[in-house]
Structure 1
Amino acid sequence: MRPVAAVIVASDRCADGIETDTSGEFLVRSLRDCGFSCASATIIDDDESKIRAALAEALDQGARLIVTSGGTGIGPRDITPEATAPFIHRPLPALAQLITAASLEQTPLAALSRGLVGLTKDSPKTLIINAPGSLRAVECVMTTVAPLLPHLFSQLDGTDDSAGGYRPHEMAVTEVLD
């Protein structure tokens, strides 16, 4: 059985139908390519209570990986990290730093992203990643994180073989959307 992943897009403009979501669509396809079962992205306003409710629902549905898109900047409505923080029991700062370092190779604006990465408390533990809202940013996040997922989940599940779980050549990431 494939592990469950969830994608949550926090965007006032997409939730209001002003813009069409592309980052969430890309994340769903990429997570499926990585072997996860993933429903369509949940698109919600940049509202802390709505983001928390969407995270709680994804956890209730058994998600082992939740990737949020949007709301990680410094604008007044960018509150995804604040909404996510109560769910994270074990932060993974080095993984967040790795994402930032890879993103900085794309644009200096990555220095303004405040996304969190960490694990939930409850078992089985769930990995939560806050990604910026642009398509280019989520492509970078997935390219950076996808090779680490097999080893990460083998460690979480207690099946770590100390090296054999890390197989970056076996991970596929969806091509850029046309």
Structure 2
Amino acid sequence: MKNIYGYLIIAFPLLLIGAWLMTGMDGKDYQMRLENIVGHSLYNYWNLSEEIIQQKELKGEALTDAIGHLNDMVIHANVIDNATSQEILEPIAHQLIAIISGLKEKHGQTGEFTKEDKHLYQQVIADMEAMQEIMLKIFYKPNSKKGGEVLIEVKDVSELSTIHDRLVESSAMLAK
């Protein structure tokens, strides 16, 4: 229940700002404001992802922090997915939460991380690093650096879908 209030605290102001900015604008202004909102969410998604990636070593406290960052990433992913008409970043964030929560739960039961747990965590970090590179290609205009010109019309998310599928498999294996 606490997480729902956190989502609302972040999502509601973003929606209000977006609605306010879009009232009384022509199509070009609307597009520019939408790009600004998506750019802001991409920036936050990226930075939260980077916070997790920086924790290369698997530790219990790092998992707790990662779950908090991932919950925030879900909110930004929802904005990005809705604006681009692609349902990919939010499902990825949910799979990451499932994996990290599973690792945390296992650690809570045994007090240790197995070799398989460490390998899975390193794979998650590698997937998140790969996601950042893919996001630069598909969510930003060519020859634009991170934070540059955002694309609203995203066409090919197949590379992100591959990562999502791998995360689903990893999550299922962890649940066994």
TM-score for both structures, normalised by structure 1: 0.29
Question: Greater CA radius of gyration, 1 or 2?
Answer: 2
Question: Which structure: greater strand fraction?
Answer: 1
TM-score for both structures, normalised by structure 2: 0.29
